[in-house]
Amino acid sequence: MYKLRWSLMTLLFAIMHQATGQECTDGAATPETRHLFRRLRELRQQYTIFGHQDALAYGVGWKAITGANDVKAVAGDSPGLYGWDIGHLETEDSLNIDKVPFSHIKQYIREGFERGALITVSWHMQNPLTSGSAWDTTHGTVKSVLPGGSRHQVFKTWLDKVAVFMHDLRDQRGRHIPVLFRPFHELTGNWFWWCRNTCSPEEFIALWRFTVSYLRGEKQLHHLLFVYNTAEFANEADFMARYPGDDMVDMVSFDMYQHGGMANRKYFMDEMHRQLEIVCQVAGKRQKLAALAETGMEAVPDKSWWTGTLEPSIAGFPLSYVLVWRNHGYMPSLKKMHYYAPYPGQVSADDFRKFTSQPRILLEKAVRQKRLYQ
C-alpha cells in the first residue's frame, strides 16, 4: 500500500514542481544564498539531506572532541546538514540553551560550510515580557513585542544581537555563510510564548513580518533563507492560518516525533504521510522548499526504525532535508537517555547505516559534491 502511494505521490509532486520560480524571497540575497535556494529546488526530487542537531558539539558519552560526531562514528560520514540553536544569545550569555559556547557554534558552522554542508539555525529565545524561558506561555507576550508594545524596544535589541551573530558567520574569503533560519518554530503547538494559544493569527503574522523586515532592512542580513515551521496540524487551513506571506518565507516545514513507543508506529507513519502531503503541496503551489525540520524517536529502541519507519514515511516526498534532534545522552534529572541518532553499538546502528547508504539520502561528502553554494 505504501509503495503504491509513494509512486503516485512522486508523480504528483514532479508535475506540481515544474513551476519556473527559482528565486528566494530576498531580492538582495547574496550570490551564495541565491544559488543555495536554486540548488535545493533542483535537487529535491532526487535527494534528501540528512541532518543532526548539535552534531559536532557533543554526543552520547563525549563532549567537545574535535572531529567527532555520532553520525560519522556509525555511518562513516558526517551529517549533510548541521542544526544549531541560538537560545540565550539574547541574554548575552556565552553559552547557548544547550550549554554550547556561541564561539564554538560559529566555528562549527564555518567548518561545516567549508565542507559543503547545509546549515540551519533555530532560536529558543526567552520570554521578553516575563524574562521566563521560551516555554513561558504568558498571554500577551507577542503583542508586547510588536511596534507600540511595552517590550518592543527590548525585542529589537535581541534582534540586534542576532544580527551581530549572523553577520559574523563568514567563510575564509569573508563571504557570508547562508543559513536556513527557523524562528518561532512549532508555532501550531501550545508550549512556546509565540504559539497559537498565546496570540492571534494577526499578531503572529505581524511578529514574523516585523522580524524578517527588521533583519533584512535595518540589519542588512541577506544570507538568510526563512523557514516557516509548525508542529503537527489538522489540515491545510490549520497549517496556513498563521502563514506570514510568500514574500517572507523560503521554506515550509513541520516537526513530528514518534512518541509512545512501538505501539504508535502506525499512527506516526500515517500522520507523517498525511501532513507531508499537505506541506509538499503547499510548497509546490507557492514555489517554496519543503523540509521535515525535526523528527525522531527518543533513544531509538526500534532496531529497524530508520528503514522500517522513517524511510517509508518520507519516501516519495520532495524534501530538501530531514533532521533528527540532538544526542544529549543520559539526563540525570529525568533518569533517562535522550538522543535521536545512533552511536556505535546502539541497537539501530546497523539499520541506520542501511538508511544512510541509500542514494537518495545525502550525508556530508555527497552534499559537497552537489555544490550547494556555487
Dist CA 31 CA 373 (whole Å): 8
Note the CATH architecture for domain 2-16+31-369.
Alpha-Beta Barrel (3.20)
| Cα angle for residues 205, 280, 80 (degrees, 5° grid) | 95
Q: What is the pTM of this model?
A: 0.94
Q: Where are the alpha helices (DSSP H) in the chain?
A: 2-16, 31-43, 70-75, 102-114, 141-145, 152-167, 201-213, 236-240, 265-286, 305, 311-314, 349-356, 364-369
Q: What is the mean pLDDT of residues 314-327?
A: 98
User: Which pLDDT value is given to residue 10?
Assistant: 44
The better pLDDT of the pair 287, 5 is held by 287
User: What is the arithmetic mean of pLDDT over 192-206?
Assistant: 98
The CB-side HSE value for 25 (13 A sphere, CA atoms) comes to 24
- What is the per-residue pLDDT for 22? 76
Per-residue pLDDT tens over the stretch 236-294 = 999 999 999 999 999 999 999 999 888 999 999 999 999 999 999 999 999 999 999 99
Q: How far is CA 65 from CA 56, 104, 200, 328, in A?
A: 8, 12, 45, 14
Rounded mean pLDDT, 109-136:
98
- The string of pLDDT tens digits covering residues 17-67 is 444 457 999 999 999 999 999 999 999 999 999 999 999 999 999 999 999
Phi-psi region of 91 (alpha: psi -120 to 50; beta: other; left: phi over 0): alpha
Q: Which residue from 35, 87, 51 is spatially nearest to 292, judged by alpha carbons?
A: 51
pLDDT of residue 261: 87
CA–CA gap between residue 353 and residue 355 (Å, rounded): 5
- The confidence score (pLDDT) of residue 14 equals 44
pLDDT score recorded for residue 7: 47
User: What's the distance, CA 157 to chain centroid?
Assistant: 24
